[in-house]
């Protein structure tokens, strides 16, 4: 797989976020990574017009809790999209596999059940170095990518619901 900078994108291709309200939920676990991802997402939402008061930031204990938080927020009429930020680093046990599978399936289920963009900005890496490389390091910031994805998926939703 070609390694790219997650923060390199064409800003003119990102829809205006000014009419949107976006929730960003970040895991507290691995804060040196999740805090950087959160900042990247929030900064990018602001850069693309989402008003400060329409960016709702929440913290949950760990990545596993993202599915419940996303479902709770997605049920609110006042939230247009939810960006989920977490970091799971491979350890010596199978815990990594169980958490990654549960969260990816859980967030998919939330999106389908609520018909809202639920964005998977969860790093699943082998090492802390790999995580830091994707949290503002040499591969950019996955939080930036999550914010752009949220705005593009909201545009997609608008276009899809207006189809004949």
Inter-CA distances, 106 with 38, 82, 101, 163, Å: 20, 13, 8, 29
* C-beta atoms surrounding 59 within 10 Å: 16
- The answer to whether residue 14 is domain-embedded is no
- How do residues 16-40 score in pLDDT, each as one tens digit? 999 999 999 999 999 999 999 999 9
- The answer to whether residue 154 is domain-embedded is yes
pLDDT score of 8: 86
Catalytic amino acids? 95
- The answer to whether residue 29 is domain-embedded is no
Region at 87 (left for phi over 0; alpha for psi -120 to 50; beta for the rest): beta
- The answer to whether residue 25 is domain-embedded is no
Average pLDDT over residues 74-78: 98
- The answer to whether residue 11 is domain-embedded is no
- The answer to whether residue 28 is domain-embedded is no
Q: How many domains does the chain have?
A: 1
- The answer to whether residue 2 is domain-embedded is no
| Structural domain boundaries, residue 79 | 38-158
pLDDT score of 162: 87
- The answer to whether residue 78 is domain-embedded is yes
Average pLDDT over residues 137-159: 97
Looking up residue 85, the CATH number of its domain turns out to be 3.40.50.960
């Amino acid at each position: 797989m070609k390694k790219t900078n997650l923060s390199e994108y064409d800003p003119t291709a990102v829809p205006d976020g000014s009419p949107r309200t976006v929730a960003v939920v970040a895991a507290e676990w691995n804060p040196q990574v999740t805090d950087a991802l959160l900042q990247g997402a929030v900064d990018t939402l602001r850069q693309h017009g989402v008003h400060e008061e329409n960016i709702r930031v929440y913290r949950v204990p760990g990545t596993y809790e993202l599915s419940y938080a996303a479902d709770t927020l997605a049920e609110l009429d006042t939230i247009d999209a939810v960006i989920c930020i977490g970091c799971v680093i491979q350890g010596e046990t199978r815990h990594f596999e169980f958490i990654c599978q549960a969260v990816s399936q859980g967030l998919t289920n939330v999106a389908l059940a609520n018909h809202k963009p639920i964005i998977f900005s969860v790093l699943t890496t082998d090492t802390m170095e790999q995580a830091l490389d994707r949290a503002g390091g040499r591969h950019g910031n996955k939080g930036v990518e999550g914010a752009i994805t949220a705005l593009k998926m909201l545009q997609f939703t608008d276009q899809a619901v207006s189809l004949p």
